[in-house]
Structure 1
Amino acid sequence: MASNALKNSIIRHPGVRGYAQAAQAAVKQQAASLQFGTTQNNTFIAALDNGSPITRVTVAFKAGARFEAPTELGLTHVLRTAAGQSTGCASGFILARKLAQHGASVTCSGDREFIYYTLEATKENLSPALECLNNLISNQEFRPWELSDNVPRLKYDIAALAPQVRAVDLLHKAAFRRGLGNSLFISPKKIGKVSSESLQHYAASTLTPARCAVAVIGESKETATMIAQALTLNSGSEAKGDGGKYFGGELRKETGGELVHVALGLQGAKAGTPQSVALAVAAKALGNGPVTKWGADNSILAKAIGNIGPFAAAGFNVAYSDNGLYGAVLSVPKDEAAQAIKAVATALRSPVSADAVAAAKAQLKVQLLSEADEGTNLAETIAAQGLQTGAARNPAELAGVVDKVTAADVTQAVAAAAKSPLTMASVGNLACTPYVDEL
């Protein structure tokens, strides 16, 4: 029996720090085209003026976990949670009060490649809110006593991690080892041991103009250019991350309990390629739980697993600038793990029928267009596109790309992925969990 346990995305699990709620207002939406380009200092800028009463501004940097040095793993987790602490111009308390007075909010999130600083504010309060955002990014000081005060937050982040998130995190480690294999989260043993100097050095080498993208939703390209030019960023030597070479392998973490949570993956395709779109369709075809509440799950994964008891299974595809990962996540009772895991591994390598591709394309288009309604998600997605490919597409254009995917394209992409070594990561009670070479 399938469940809805994996309905929410578990691939990108950011650390977030918020300050206040932006005011809401109702305004008629207007059609607009996405404009993008680069500034003189090579900062990517993009703007989509859709008539929204709330302006969203995302300043993204190539400063994700893959750029951490082997001796500084987990540093980006500390960097994310340190957003909003005292800067060279104002204390964290003053920044929070100013944002609250203007009805604005700032969040900091991140993934393996990028860190995103996102501001939400009404149009009339955008200018003073941007001053706070500029302060948060350009003048960070990472004072040691404030980093110490942030230790409980880091401990909570680790303790609150869902086991499926842990499995996907371990899957990246097994698949890529270094670089893209670096964890999004700091090791409990290193909490409190990341120094202010390390953070300053990392910020100076990664928060640079050439590694920056500014995406604005609800304002013009001129506003995006103004924001990019107002940032005071270091332009010195830049950090270089390890290549995203795919190796394959296995990692296991015994935590006990009655369930086992397993992530299986194959080498995917890099962002911006037709293969990555085809694999995104394939992942959606694998399934993501029942599409109706309390309804039956008729997805490929559910049919492959069969009626073995309560379980949750979902396909995923994640594309990075130089590689990708295509796979599935499974949560299942420990005693029935062997049968379910072998079934998922077989389904992952099997071709997808034309009917399943047609349904998956429709579901993926709905997901893309629905996420566009969330201005924050849209701004971060556009910024990530700019940093990965040097260009950006609006949601309607992305839906058009999905429309052009054929069943043959999906079959070829899955067949290419199936040639790579299978990667496996498992968390929970592993008493009956097979090893990857047994699948």
Structure 2
Amino acid sequence: MLGSGSGQLAPALARCISTSTSAANAAPALASSGFLTSIFGMGGSRVDVPLSERLPAVTEPPRSSAPATKPTLQTSSLASGVKVATIDTVSPVSSLVLFVEGGASAETSSTVGASKVLEIAAFKATTNRSTFRLTRELEKIGATAYCRAGREHVAFGVDAVRVNTREALEILTDAALNARYPYWEVRDSLDTLKEQLAAQLKNPVTTVTEVLHRAAFDGGLGNSLVVDPALVDGFTNESLKEYLSGVLAPSRVLLAGVGVDHADITQLAGPLVSLSGSAPAPAASKYVGGSMNVIAPTAPLTYVGLGFEARGGAADAKSAAAAAVVKALLDVARPTLPHDRREHEVFASVSPFAHVYKGTGLVGLIASGAPGKAGALVDAVTAKVQSVAKGVSDAQLVHAKALALGELRAATATTAGLAAAVGSSVLATGKFSAAEAAAALQGLTAAEVSGFVSAMVKSTPTFVTYGNLSSLPRAESIAKRFA
């Protein structure tokens, strides 16, 4: 039956009918014949209301308004010593991430590959739930779960609609801290992991990146994140538990949340995060530099990786900002940076990188070219770094800063991305502010960038090659170019 809403619907229907010529001629006839009266219980008088105005007797729905102040980071510690860092936003989606400081840098000879195994074995059977039950409960609340391993930490995350934040937090803490890791689930995870590792290592850029870290750092950062599949053949569930027992300590765990209330999360997480004991702080990695060669005679291209230390790392806001800008300046393939033509036709591809860690970092580029032009490829790579060290034009700096700011905004545009940025930054520096990071980028001058690169190239270079290396110069000659 039509209720009181019919009084509001009739004028709208009359206006809709009058949108065409034939309907406009028919509308008066419909109204005069009592058609609208018989259906809607009202007269047939036509109401002319422009689309820019609201209909009579129609109540406007309430409009949401942006918060008066931008959301800020709130931090505290639980009774167990676990740190909590949150940012409350107006997003209907909340993201919770439990960070464990360690990652690949905490692996030993007996636990090689443990962080990558966790990526696949996480969010399965716990002491309170079976794998089936955990999966179904995530589906019931419309949540997605993931685990991501890095060189400095492992992140367990759950994204859910805000009304289900409490359920998401309980599942997250149970899966991360109470996991059973039975041998059959770890065995199945290893089969999947070997396939993934083999596929990733087919990409020469991935291989060069891993070898660059091995040559550049003395300590945990020198451990491979993407390991050789053969190294995990003897991995067992006991190896995984050994790795976790060394990193799951309150001082090395952080709960990050975005789109959540800090007081609620702190209160709820107290009894759920019942960690105890202690673990030594991860040993600091030291940049040493060096060279390594990976011989692949049948490779269609030769790859050259050249990197230098970014001193200060994430702990130094200016250094981290300069590293991001230098990465953009080294990318000669980007058409957005002003240049007349490609500086070196020997480049088949160019992949600049800026890996910023706690207290240190690695900045440089990986380039590829034809095997017969390997010597010219090395010359082109070193010349590109030297050109940035000599000076940067204002136009180049403006575009490079815009690219770096774009990457920062893209990384923090979603609740999950912002939660990841909050967790990794608070673990490394004890604080996080996207506004401060953006201000550090925008405040860089050409002189500061050139000074950063000049100091960077004075460190021992890290030089890695992959492919047919018959025509490459010796590593000693590379180091002399930056002496």
Q: Distance in 2 between matches of 1:47 and 1:116?
A: 15
- Do the aligned partners of residues 207 and 233 (structure 1) sit closer, same or farther apart at CA in structure 2, a change above 3 Å counting? farther
What is the CA distance between 1:138 and its match in structure 2? 1.1
- Equivalent residue for 1:279? 323
- Do the aligned partners of residues 29 and 351 (structure 1) sit closer, same or farther apart at CA in structure 2, a change above 3 Å counting? farther
**CA radius of gyration, larger in:** 2
- 2:371 is aligned with 1:329: no
- 2:403 is aligned with 1:371: no
- Do the aligned partners of residues 29 and 345 (structure 1) sit closer, same or farther apart at CA in structure 2, a change above 3 Å counting? farther
- Do the aligned partners of residues 406 and 154 (structure 1) sit closer, same or farther apart at CA in structure 2, a change above 3 Å counting? same
Q: Distance in 1 between matches of 2:268 and 2:292?
A: 43
Contact kept, 8 Å, 2:80 with 2:250, in 1: the verdict is yes
Q: Give a deviation string over 1:139-161, Cα, whole Å, max 9, x none.
A: 01221111111122111221221
- Equivalent residue for 1:339? 376
The AA in structure 1 aligned to 2:416 is T
Structure 1 gaps of 5+ residues are: 1-26
- Equivalent residue for 1:9? none
Question: Tell me, what secondary structure is at the counterpart of 1:65?
Answer: helix
- Do the aligned partners of residues 157 and 299 (structure 1) sit closer, same or farther apart at CA in structure 2, a change above 3 Å counting? farther
Match of 1:37 among 32, 55, 75: 75
State the aligned residue count: 406
Contact kept, 8 Å, 1:265 with 1:326, in 2: the verdict is yes
Q: Distance in 2 between matches of 1:288 and 1:89?
A: 53
- 2:463 is aligned with 1:427: no
Q: Give a deviation string over 1:36-87, Cα, whole Å, max 9, x none.
A: 2221444332222221111111111102111112443222222222112211
Contact kept, 8 Å, 2:333 with 2:342, in 1: the verdict is no
- Equivalent residue for 1:314? 351
Contact kept, 8 Å, 2:216 with 2:290, in 1: the verdict is yes
The AA in structure 1 aligned to 2:415 is G
What is the CA distance between 1:291 and its match in structure 2? 4.3
Identity of aligned residues (%): 28
Normalised by the size of structure 2, how large is the TM-score?
0.78
Question: Tell me, what secondary structure is at the counterpart of 1:348?
Answer: helix
Contact kept, 8 Å, 2:95 with 2:157, in 1: the verdict is yes
Question: Tell me, what secondary structure is at the counterpart of 1:80?
Answer: helix
Contact kept, 8 Å, 2:117 with 2:190, in 1: the verdict is no
Question: Tell me, what secondary structure is at the counterpart of 2:160?
Answer: strand
- 2:157 is aligned with 1:118: yes
- Do the aligned partners of residues 97 and 36 (structure 1) sit closer, same or farther apart at CA in structure 2, a change above 3 Å counting? same
Question: Tell me, what secondary structure is at the counterpart of 2:277?
Answer: coil
Question: Tell me, what secondary structure is at the counterpart of 2:358?
Answer: coil
Identify the range of structure 1 (241-250 vs 137-146) with the bigger mean alpha-carbon deviation: 241-250
Q: Distance in 2 between matches of 1:371 and 1:101?
A: 29
Say what the alpha-carbon RMSD is for the aligned residues: 2.4
Matches within 5 A, 1:24-423: 30=67, 32-39=70-77, 40-161=79-200, 162-226=203-267, 228-255=269-296, 256-269=298-311, 270-273=313-316, 274-287=318-331, 289-291=333-335, 303-304=342-343, 306-308=344-346, 311-349=348-386, 350-355=389-394, 356-393=396-433, 395-423=434-462
Q: Distance in 2 between matches of 1:214 and 1:299?
A: 45
Question: Tell me, what secondary structure is at the counterpart of 1:141?
Answer: coil
What is the CA distance between 1:136 and its match in structure 2? 0.9
Contact kept, 8 Å, 1:205 with 1:236, in 2: the verdict is no
Q: Distance in 2 between matches of 1:122 and 1:239?
A: 37
The AA in structure 1 aligned to 2:309 is Q
Q: Distance in 2 between matches of 1:318 and 1:81?
A: 24
Q: Distance in 1 between matches of 2:426 and 2:269?
A: 14
Q: Distance in 2 between matches of 1:217 and 1:42?
A: 21
- Do the aligned partners of residues 260 and 145 (structure 1) sit closer, same or farther apart at CA in structure 2, a change above 3 Å counting? same
Q: Distance in 2 between matches of 1:83 and 1:299?
A: 47
Normalised by the size of structure 1, how large is the TM-score?
0.86
Contact kept, 8 Å, 1:260 with 1:429, in 2: the verdict is yes
